[in-house]
Chain A
Amino acid sequence: MNTFTRRGALGVAAVVGLARPALAQPRYPARPVQVIVPWGAGGGTDATARIVATLLEREMGQPFNVVNRTGGSGVVGHSAIAQAAPDGYTIGMITVEICMMHWQGLTELKRTSYTPLALMNEDPPGVQVNASSPYRDIKALADAIKASRPGQFKASGTGQGGIWHLALAGWLVAMGLRADHVRWVPSNGAAPAMQDLAAGGVDLVTCSVPEARAIIDAGRARSLAIMAPQRNPQFASVPTLNETLGINYSVGAWRGMAAPLNLPAPIAQQLTAAMQKVWNSQEFKDFMNARGFGMVWGDAEGLAKHMEQTDTTLGTAMRDAGLVRG
Chain B
Amino acid sequence: MNPILEAFTMVATTEVAIAVLASAVYGMVIGALPGLTATMATALLVPITFYLSPIAAVATIITSSAMAIFSGDIPGCLMRIPGTPASAAYTDEAYAMTRKGEAELALGTSLWFSAVGGIVGTVALMIMAPALAEMALSFSTFEYFWLSLLGLMCATLVARSSPIKAIAAALLGLLVACVGIENPGGVPRFTFGSTDLLGGIEALPALVGVFAVSEIMRALVSPLPPRIPDRKLGSILRGQWGLTRRFQKQMWRGNVIGVLIGALPGAGADIAAWVAYATSKRFSKEPEKFGTGHPEGLVESGAANNSALAGGWVPALLFGIPGDTITAIAIGVLYMKGLNPGPTLFTEKASSMYALYIIFILANVLMIPLGIIMIRLSRHVLKAPRAVAMPLILLLCAVGAFAIGNNPFAIVLVAVFGVIGYMMERNGYPVAALVLGIVMGTMVEQNLVSSLIKSDGEILPFFERPISSGLAALTISALMWPVAVWVIRRLRHAEPAR
Q: A42-B42, A50-B47, A201-B140 are in contact. Are A68 and B321 (CB under 8 A)?
A: no
Q: Is B369 an interface residue (CB 8 A)?
A: no
Min C-beta distance of B67 to chain A, whole Å:
13
* A186→B447 CA distance, assembly (Å): 9
Complex partner residue of A198 from B45, B319, B344, CB under 8 angstroms: B319
Q: Is A79 an interface residue (CB 8 A)?
A: yes
B195 with A79: CB separation less than 8 A? yes
- Among B13-57, those with CB < 8 Å from A are 22, 25-26, 39-40, 42-48, 50
Q: Which residue of A lies closest to B449 (CB)?
A: A186
Complex partner residue of B22 from A2, A104, A214, CB under 8 angstroms: A2
Task: Report how many residues on chain B are interfacial, defined by Cβ distance under 8 Å.
Answer: 68
B342 with A217: CB separation less than 8 A? yes
B456 with A75: CB separation less than 8 A? no
* A32→B336 CA distance, assembly (Å): 27
Min C-beta distance of A31 to chain B, whole Å:
18
Residues of A within 8 A of B (CB): 1-3, 40-44, 46-47, 50-51, 53-54, 67-76, 79, 104, 106-107, 151, 154, 156, 159-162, 183-188, 191-192, 194-196, 198-202, 213-215, 217-220, 283, 286-287, 290-292, 323
B338 with A192: CB separation less than 8 A? no
Q: Which residue of B lies closest to A54 (CB)?
A: B47
A214 with B405: CB separation less than 8 A? no
Counted as pairs of residues, one from A and one from B, with CB atoms less than 8 Å apart, the total is 185
Q: Is B442 an interface residue (CB 8 A)?
A: yes
Residues of B within 8 A of A (CB): 22, 25-26, 39-40, 42-48, 50, 136-141, 180-182, 184-188, 195-199, 265-266, 315, 318-322, 325-326, 328-329, 331-332, 335-338, 340-344, 404-407, 409-410, 442, 446, 449-450, 453-454, 456
Residues of B within 8 A of A75 (CB): 195, 198-199
Which label, helix, strand, loop or mixed, suits the secondary structure of the B interface?
helix
Complex partner residue of A71 from B42, B45, B336, B405, CB under 8 angstroms: B405
Residues of A within 8 A of B265 (CB): 191-192, 195
A217 with B344: CB separation less than 8 A? yes
Cross-chain pairs A/B with CB under 8 angstroms, 27 sampled:
A1-B22, A40-B39, A43-B328, A44-B332, A46-B43, A50-B46, A51-B47, A69-B405, A70-B404, A70-B405, A71-B405, A72-B199, A73-B180, A75-B198, A104-B186, A154-B453, A160-B186, A185-B141, A185-B454, A186-B184, A186-B185, A195-B137, A198-B137, A213-B340, A217-B341, A220-B319, A287-B336
* A219→B347 CA distance, assembly (Å): 14
Residues of A within 8 A of B138 (CB): 199
A191 with B321: CB separation less than 8 A? yes
Complex partner residue of A1 from B26, B184, B328, B340, CB under 8 angstroms: B26
Min C-beta distance of B141 to chain A, whole Å:
6
Complex partner residue of A220 from B45, B137, B197, B449, CB under 8 angstroms: B137
Residues of B within 8 A of A72 (CB): 195-199
Complex partner residue of A199 from B139, B325, B343, CB under 8 angstroms: B139
Q: Which residue of B lies closest to A188 (CB)?
A: B446
Residues of A within 8 A of B26 (CB): 1, 3
Complex partner residue of B141 from A201, A215, A283, CB under 8 angstroms: A201
B181 with A106: CB separation less than 8 A? yes
Q: Which residue of A lies closest to B452 (CB)?
A: A185
A151 with B456: CB separation less than 8 A? yes
Which residue, A41, A46, A69, A156, has most C-beta atoms of chain B within 10 A? A41
B450 with A187: CB separation less than 8 A? yes
- Nearest 7 A-B pairs (CB), nearest first? A214-B320, A160-B186, A41-B43, A70-B405, A72-B198, A217-B342, A201-B140
Q: A54-B50, A185-B454 are in contact. Are A68 and B319 (CB under 8 A)?
A: no
Min C-beta distance of A115 to chain B, whole Å:
22
A42 with B140: CB separation less than 8 A? no
Q: A107-B195, A217-B344 are in contact. Are A186 and B321 (CB under 8 A)?
A: no
Residues of A within 8 A of B315 (CB): 195
B181 with A217: CB separation less than 8 A? no
A154 with B137: CB separation less than 8 A? no
* A195→B135 CA distance, assembly (Å): 12
B184 with A160: CB separation less than 8 A? yes
A195 with B454: CB separation less than 8 A? no
Min C-beta distance of B336 to chain A, whole Å:
4
Q: A76-B196, A186-B446, A199-B137 are in contact. Are A106 and B454 (CB under 8 A)?
A: no
B453 with A218: CB separation less than 8 A? no
Min C-beta distance of A293 to chain B, whole Å:
10
* A44→B185 CA distance, assembly (Å): 24
A214 with B340: CB separation less than 8 A? yes
Residues of B within 8 A of A187 (CB): 446, 450
Q: Which residue of B lies closest to A195 (CB)?
A: B321
Min C-beta distance of A86 to chain B, whole Å:
20
Q: A41-B43, A76-B407 are in contact. Are A106 and B198 (CB under 8 A)?
A: yes
Residues of B within 8 A of A159 (CB): 182, 184, 186
* A151→B196 CA distance, assembly (Å): 35
Residues of A within 8 A of B340 (CB): 213-214, 217
